[in-house]
């Protein structure tokens, strides 16, 4: 970060935290802004690009959405889809009509009731704008097939059988249609880009782009609040500077760190009397995205060579602790996981043999562009290790550290997507379909999650077949075939399953991992266990 920008960020951080007070009479320091109001500082390493629920794509945007909005359904820590604004639903015999009954007492944050018309508006808005989660619905639901049968009953008719449909309904994040129309025309794009109009537990009260976002608790939240002290205010502080995160903890002002700190930072914060380390196995994978359409990674032998040239043990045991990942699908999806796949193998001898089989065998050196998120210590370490090993077998690796927003821009075209890139991806809805369709189907190409540009008609056909298969056992068999095909072509290289680690204040309770991107950051499920 340039000195001027760094200084500006530090000034903003100091301003954001100026009101934090220390409790002088207890060993546990509450990051509270006032005696009766509990304010929690949450560190994130990535900017919030938007708060519009129809446009969210990445982990910080989903984090904002789950606190500002409620969906038709939500996801439990066990991975089950459970009621939220919809208290129940029924499915027709042909598996194409879904009828949702809404809760009678749910209100938006202005106190007005959540009604069926708002659900209709929300889905039609999502389809019209065709951004963010719209790709999950756009070829499945026609706008006219979303109907309000009465004030509290919504019918959604889908165009064909789609077995995981209920799994995507947490992303029907319901918008207050009356206010949106009053403020800013039919779809309220400008207004919803800067304001929240949801029925979620928090409302947006402040946003300094690139520095911080502030949310206030909605006391009338329909789901109620957990025991002890709920979190009254959320202050998301955006910084990749680990010294800043450690300093926040040393002053007792940090509530929860990001999951992307170095091992050294976690150890330093955990050693403080008032902090603990939260660890949770996740369905999130850390992948080496490999551009299947761009030379030289368009050659399967080059992709296999890269896979053999990765020192998996050092990556997941030393640089960034995580679990072994045989397949592109986490083994937490136990019934769908292909257990028979071999464990990743580090062998420079086999890597060199694969290079010799490739159409680029005569090139000296074989040039490769490799991207990772800039100013992230562990990603840089992995990039340097990647470069050093590959260059022993005839590659020339151009390391390309980039800001995250630049990586997402590069990912929109085959020609600009790097040969390889280090990317975390977790299911955006609780189904293996989220892993396969979002990352590998040609209809989902052109995003950061699909940077491998697989473009394989056989994979497309298998994914389409799985989506139309209602029988779970048969669907899981197809999922296993997809994994076998992707592994055979080394279409993408899984590095590890993320062991999520976060430094948390000892007083913060209630965190539980949820197998859907950022849904574990629903702070209405957490509370403060200390006085003061």
> Interhelix angle for 457-467 vs 432-440, to 10°?
150
Distance between terminal CA atoms of the chain?
Answer: 37
CATH class of the domain at 73-183: alpha beta
344 secondary structure, DSSP code: P
510: left (phi over 0), alpha (psi -120 to 50) or beta: left
Q: How far is CA 80 from CA 75, 84, 136, 505, 515, in A?
A: 6, 12, 19, 28, 9
> What does the pLDDT read at residue 31?
58
> Which tokens belong to 121?
């508006």
- Candidates 58, 186, 194, 55; CA nearest to 130 is 55
Query: CB of 239 within 8 A of CB of 251?
Result: no
Contact between 371 and 418 (Cβ < 8 Å): yes
CB 30 within 8 A of CB 38: yes
Q: State the DSSP code for 346.
A: -
pLDDT of residue 532: 62
Pairing of the two strands 493-505 and 322-323: antiparallel
Dihedral (CA of 518, 520, 524, 527) sign: negative
Q: What are phi and psi of 88, to 5 degrees?
A: -165, 170
Cα torsion 518, 81, 526, 500 to 10°: value is -40
Specify the pLDDT at position 26.
30
Sort strands 322-323 and 275-290 into parallel, antiparallel or unpaired: unpaired
Boundaries of CATH 3.40.190.10 in the chain? 3-68+200-274+506-528
CA distance 467 to 475: 8
CATH class of the region 3-68+200-274+506-528: alpha beta
* Dihedral angle sign, alpha carbons of residues 9, 11, 17, 23: positive
Residue 36 has a pLDDT of 73
For the stretch 334-361, what's the b/e string if a residue is b when 16 or more beta carbons lie within 10 angstroms of its beta carbon?
eebbbeebeebebeeeebeebbeebebe
Q: Taking the mean position of all CA atoms in its chain, how far away is CA 348? A: 33
40 and 231 in contact (C-beta within 8 Å)?
yes
CATH 3.10.105.10 domain span(s) along the chain: 282-498
Chain mean position to CA 275: 25
Closest CA to 205 of 32, 67, 85, 5: 67
The β-bridge partners of 150 are 153
The one-digit pLDDT tens for each residue of the chain (532 residues) are 433 333 333 333 333 333 332 232 233 344 554 457 899 999 999 999 999 999 999 999 999 999 999 999 999 998 999 999 999 999 999 999 999 999 999 999 999 999 999 999 999 999 999 999 999 999 999 999 999 999 999 999 999 999 999 999 999 999 999 999 999 888 999 999 999 999 999 999 999 999 999 999 999 999 999 877 999 999 999 999 999 999 999 999 999 999 999 889 999 999 999 999 999 999 999 999 999 999 999 999 999 999 999 999 999 999 999 999 999 999 999 999 999 999 999 999 999 999 999 999 998 899 999 999 999 999 999 999 999 999 999 999 999 999 999 999 999 999 999 999 999 999 999 999 999 999 999 999 999 999 999 999 999 999 999 999 999 999 999 999 999 999 999 999 999 999 999 999 999 999 999 999 999 999 999 999 998 6
Residues 6+ away with beta carbon under 8 Å from 315: 382, 385, 495, 496
**Range(s) within the chain of domains with CATH label 3.90.76.10:** 73-183
Q: Show the tokens assigned to 224.
A: 């109620």
Q: What is the pTM of this model?
A: 0.84
Chain Cα centroid distance, residue 447: 13
Residue count of the chain: 532
Residue 170 near residue 429 (C-beta atoms within 8 A): yes
Residue with tokens 């100013």: 375
**Residue-level pLDDT at 299:** 99
Distance CA 49, CA 62 (A): 10
DSSP letter assigned to residue 383: H
CATH of domain 282-498: 3.10.105.10
């Amino acid at each position: 970060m340039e000195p001027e920008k760094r200084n500006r960020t530090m000034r903003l951080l100091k301003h954001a935290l100026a009101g934090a007070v220390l409790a002088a009479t207890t060993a546990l320091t509450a990051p509270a802004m006032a005696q009766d109001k509990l304010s929690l500082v949450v560190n994130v390493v990535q900017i919030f690009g938007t708060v519009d629920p129809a446009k969210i794509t990445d982990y910080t945007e989903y984090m904002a959405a789950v606190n500002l909005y409620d969906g038709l359904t939500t996801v439990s820590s066990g991975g089950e889809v459970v009621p939220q604004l919809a208290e129940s639903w029924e499915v027709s015999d042909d598996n194409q009509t879904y009828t949702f009954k809404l809760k009678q007492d749910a209100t938006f944050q202005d106190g007005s009731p959540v009604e069926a018309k708002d659900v209709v508006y929300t889905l039609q808005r999502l389809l019209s704008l065709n951004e963010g989660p719209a790709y999950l619905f756009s070829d499945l639901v026609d706008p006219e097939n979303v109907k309000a049968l009465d004030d509290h009953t919504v019918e959604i008719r889908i165009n064909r059988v789609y077995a995981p449909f209920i799994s995507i309904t947490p992303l029907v994040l319901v918008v207050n249609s009356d206010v949106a129309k009053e403020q800013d025309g039919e779809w309220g794009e400008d207004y919803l880009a800067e304001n929240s109009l949801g029925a979620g537990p928090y409302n947006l009260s402040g946003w300094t782009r690139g520095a911080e976002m502030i949310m206030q608790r909605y006391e009338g939240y329909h789901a109620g609040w957990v025991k002890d002290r709920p979190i009254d205010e959320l202050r998301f502080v955006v910084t990749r500077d680990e010294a800043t995160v450690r300093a926040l903890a040393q002053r007792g002002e940090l509530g929860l760190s990001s999951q992307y700190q170095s091992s050294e930072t976690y150890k330093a914060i955990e050693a403080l009397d008032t902090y603990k380390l939260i660890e949770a196995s996740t369905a999130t994978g850390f992948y080496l995205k490999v551009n299947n359409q761009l030379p030289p990674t368009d050659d399967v032998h080059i992709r296999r060579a890269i896979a053999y040239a990765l020192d998996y043990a050092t990556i997941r045991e030393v640089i960034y602790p995580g679990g072994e990942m045989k397949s592109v699908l986490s083994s937490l999806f136990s019934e769908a996981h292909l257990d028979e796949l071999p464990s990743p193998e580090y062998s420079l001898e086999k890597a060199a043999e694969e290079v010799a089989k490739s159409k680029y065998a005569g090139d000296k050196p074989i040039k490769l562009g490799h991207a990772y998120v800039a100013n992230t210590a562990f990603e840089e370490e992995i990039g340097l290790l990647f470069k050093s090993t590959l260059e022993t077998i005839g590659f020339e690796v151009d390391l390309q550290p980039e800001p995250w927003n630049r990586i997402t821009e590069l990912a929109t075209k085959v020609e600009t997507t790097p040969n390889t890139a280090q990317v975390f991806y977790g299911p955006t809805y609780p189904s293996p379909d989220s892993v396969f369709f979002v990352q590998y189907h040609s209809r989902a190409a052109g995003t950061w999650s699909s940077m491998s540009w697989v473009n394989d008609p056989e994979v497309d056909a298998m994914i389409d077949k799985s989506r139309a298969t209602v029988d779970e056992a048969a669907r899981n068999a197809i999922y296993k075939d997809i994994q076998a095909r992707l592994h055979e072509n080394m279409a993408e290289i899984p590095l590890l399953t993320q062991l999520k680690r976060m430094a948390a204040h000892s007083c913060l309770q209630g965190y539980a991992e949820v197998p859907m991107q950022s849904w574990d950051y629903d702070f209405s499920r957490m509370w403060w266990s200390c006085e003061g």
